[in-house]
Structure 1
Amino acid sequence: MIKRQREKILILTGSLGDGHNKAAQAILEAAQYYRPDVDVEIVDFLEWTHPYLHSVGKYCYMQWVKSLPSVYGYLYRKTREDNTFSHMFKRMKSFSTDRMLELLHQVRPTEVVCTFPGAAAAMSHLKSMGLIRIPTVTVITDYTAHSYWIHPCTDRYLVGADHVKQALLRYRVPEQQISVTGIPIRLPFTRQYDRNMLRERYGLDQQLPTVLIMGGGHGLIGKQFLSVLQSDELAPIQFIFVCGRNEKLKHLLEEELGGPKTHHRVLITGFIDHVHELMALSDLIITKPGGLTVSEALALELPMMLYKPIPGQEQDNAAYLVGLGAAIEAKNAADLKMQLLQVMKNRALLTALKKKAKASVPVWGRLIR
């Protein structure tokens, strides 16, 4: 009797921004919870294919996006459709075929899930060359579509919303290969929480409006941003800053907002593993519109203020969320101040945003509740 191979999913992610890794972790977590009979392994595609250069490449990419967002946006728009320009970029193979085959030989997956477009391109290339026949799924981690996600040998696409599905249909992807699942989010973001209990746990005021600020490590927080938060025009607010691993930003905020320098209450944290609890106890989040962060906020019914989205997928995400009525976009510091004043003075507006967020809970969040 031939022993059947145990199912094994290989998730290929990439560390350009946090979203691809977050989606990979969410899929791993869900698989472990709902399908413990399936083995799951996550591999960073960039780290595997470029073990010595991936850190430098990641740094250069992030600096490029922050320093020259208009150039990034131009290239993003130019390659969005399936055209000569986008084909030229797709032909620029950025991985080693031998390294990819070595990985697949080591892991021996029965299915590969890609949360990073470069990994999807690599898998499609290997399949088109007849080197592998492994079923491949691509998870698009933003509320938008782009040609670099689309490859001829992908077997299935998981997308965040119906308008992304419609875009893939325009790319001539067969409808039976597209599933509208929502963007994968980790289980803690799909649960219900007692807000008062959480505020008590973190020593926060039960009555003050609470604003969570995330994304400082990606260019959100600057001098103009801080001047808005230090403004006397704003009635007292409880601000929570999540700085992640950006210790420099954490020290800056402690200097600028510590003691009597602001009449607001301020909580500043570094890297934490309980962001879901801070979202659950907050009234509003100010953030960059990354696909995973905004999906987590939607699942916890948290209204959003999206600050200075960069051209490209962030602008697309922002347009989608504003269209839903679950978010407000602030294009600059002056706009941020005006919008924040309006929301804090008009609680009905905040309530309306929350209701729209609740009505727009991602499908993934509903499926695993």
Structure 2
Amino acid sequence: MTEKLRILIITAPYGNGHFAVANGLIDEFKKYDNIEYSLYDLYTEDYPATTKFVKKFYFSTYKKGLQQQAYRFFYYGSDKLLDLKIAKPYLRFGIKKLVKKIEETKPHIILNTFPVNCTYNLIDEGINIPVYTVITDYFANSNWISKHTRLHFLAVNSVSMQLKQRGIKDHQYSVTGIPIKPIFYKEYSDEEIRNLKKKFNIDENKKVILLVAGAHGVVPNVNKIVNDITSEDNVQLIVVCGKNLRLYYRLNRRFFKHKNLVLFQFVDNMHELMRISDLMITKPGGITMTEAANIGIPVILYRPVYGQELENAIFFSSKRAATIALQEDELIYKALTILNDDELLNDMKNNIKKIAIKNSALLIIDRLIKDYQLFLEEENDN
């Protein structure tokens, strides 16, 4: 084809991962003169009130209660729920707005970084555009999976088991890894690591823990975690509070100028902090875990909630690349145990590196272009 390949990327604002994957792909698309792309947040653009409510509900699932149980039921029950007739309005939600967007942008390809179910129903509207999906976690529930999807791009091969249970054939998925910022693929020399440690006032002779405390669900009882870890002479703790300014100022007041604590608000150089750390404490989001795998930093996963977080945590812990902690005492014990056991720490580093797939965006684009050509050939034959 001589005209530019037009790709409509559809994403959603529920968690940071879906936009991060979309932007990672866009960064790669920019390198191609023969590709045009547009980013479409269907829910925010066309259903802002509904999206605001759903986002509020989604983040409320990090607290124990009815919301968490409701999300658990929806996530794990989707296998059966989506096959019921009463699910049809849910599966078609947004279809009219999507059709209008397609008429405006005239894409050759639709690429999902969120399970937008109505894209699977375009054929019912007489629209024959190939749909592709990047699954942004290390597990896929039924919302991600459709026989009408040309290719599902997977983080790891084990995700294919969930697809096959839903009738997906081998030619309908490709293991590419999850796209992340290219900076996380960069290898650092020992000298560069030493310079980074000087930059952040990190003692070269101490082990370093990175606590991402601004993530949803990590904040409870963080004072005790910080207090107990920083009381160890051979450990320094980096705490990233993100946009949680209340937490930042609270910790800053309580641990002012503590020699073993380095405190940050929001950062745009997380890759550097991860590079100089020996162990990370965070929530098991798909993007975060992919970044950790590519850098090679073991992870303690604190209080994963039901759904994709728990499934990501189960996967990484099964590979002995991470461990799960449900209480702060357990977290502190595991963190110090791992840091004081060099053999265990190195094993975990090696294990998490084995999970990494580099240059995922490039792999996805390559498969996308090749499969689209195959799609055109199939259409011509018909």
What is the TM-score with the length of structure 1 in the denominator? 0.89
Indicate conservation of the 8 Å contact 2:109/2:130, yes or no.
yes
- Alpha carbons of 1:94 and 1:208: their partners in 2 closer, same or farther (altered >3 Å)? farther
1:123 paired residue among 95, 119, 124: 119
The 2-side partners of 1:300 and 1:18 are apart by 20
Deviation at 1:40, TM superposition (A): 2.2
Deviation at 1:87, TM superposition (A): 6.2
* Residue identity in the other structure for 1:154: T
2:341 aligned with 1:342, yes or no?
no
Deviation at 1:88, TM superposition (A): 4.1
Deviation at 1:83, TM superposition (A): 5.2
Aligned to 1:217: 215
1:38 paired residue among 35, 40, 43: 35
Indicate conservation of the 8 Å contact 1:190/1:365, yes or no.
no
Aligned to 1:57: 54
- Alpha carbons of 1:234 and 1:273: their partners in 2 closer, same or farther (altered >3 Å)? same
Q: Secondary structure at the match of 1:244?
A: coil
Deviation at 1:306, TM superposition (A): 0.8
* Residue identity in the other structure for 1:229: V
Instruction: Write out aligned runs for 1:141-290 (5 A).
Output: 141-193=136-188, 194-214=192-212, 216-223=214-221, 225-231=222-228, 234-259=232-257, 265-290=260-285
Cα deviation code 1:171-214 (max 9, x no counterpart): 10121011011111121111112321221222322222111112
Indicate conservation of the 8 Å contact 1:49/1:100, yes or no.
no
Deviation at 1:122, TM superposition (A): 1.6
- Alpha carbons of 1:181 and 1:215: their partners in 2 closer, same or farther (altered >3 Å)? farther
2:300 aligned with 1:305, yes or no?
yes
Cα deviation code 1:248-304 (max 9, x no counterpart): 3322332333245xxx52222222221111111111110111111001100011111
Q: Secondary structure at the match of 1:92?
A: helix
What is the TM-score with the length of structure 2 in the denominator? 0.86
Q: Secondary structure at the match of 2:61?
A: helix
Farther off after superposition, 238-247 or 311-320: 238-247
The 2-side partners of 1:89 and 1:243 are apart by 40
Indicate conservation of the 8 Å contact 2:151/2:173, yes or no.
yes
The 2-side partners of 1:233 and 1:245 are apart by 26
Farther off after superposition, 189-198 or 51-60: 51-60
Farther off after superposition, 189-198 or 158-167: 189-198
* Residue identity in the other structure for 2:143: Y
* Residue identity in the other structure for 2:37: V
* Residue identity in the other structure for 2:122: L
2:135 aligned with 1:137, yes or no?
no
Deviation at 1:65, TM superposition (A): 4.0
Instruction: Write out aligned runs for 1:11-22 (5 A).
Output: 11-22=9-20
Aligned to 2:111: 113
Indicate conservation of the 8 Å contact 1:7/1:38, yes or no.
yes
The 2-side partners of 1:89 and 1:230 are apart by 49
The 1-side partners of 2:280 and 2:85 are apart by 38
* Residue identity in the other structure for 1:49: D
Farther off after superposition, 336-345 or 54-63: 54-63
2:348 paired residue among 341, 345, 353: 353
The 2-side partners of 1:36 and 1:20 are apart by 25
Give the superposed CA RMSD: 2.4
* Residue identity in the other structure for 1:62: F
- Alpha carbons of 1:354 and 1:96: their partners in 2 closer, same or farther (altered >3 Å)? closer
Deviation at 1:153, TM superposition (A): 2.0
Q: Secondary structure at the match of 1:319?
A: helix
2:95 paired residue among 94, 97, 100: 97
Indicate conservation of the 8 Å contact 1:78/1:85, yes or no.
no
Indicate conservation of the 8 Å contact 1:82/1:171, yes or no.
no
* Residue identity in the other structure for 1:126: L
Q: Structure 2 regions of 5+ residues with no counterpart? A: 364-382
- Alpha carbons of 1:49 and 1:41: their partners in 2 closer, same or farther (altered >3 Å)? same
Q: Secondary structure at the match of 1:272?
A: coil
- Alpha carbons of 1:311 and 1:235: their partners in 2 closer, same or farther (altered >3 Å)? farther
Deviation at 1:341, TM superposition (A): 2.0
Aligned to 1:10: 8
Cα deviation code 1:208-251 (max 9, x no counterpart): 2111112533011212x321320276344222222222223322
Aligned to 2:374: none
Q: Secondary structure at the match of 1:230?
A: helix
- Alpha carbons of 1:52 and 1:5: their partners in 2 closer, same or farther (altered >3 Å)? farther
Farther off after superposition, 58-67 or 287-296: 58-67
Deviation at 1:60, TM superposition (A): 2.7
Identity across matched positions, percent: 28
The 2-side partners of 1:258 and 1:140 are apart by 42
Deviation at 1:8, TM superposition (A): 1.7
* Residue identity in the other structure for 1:171: R
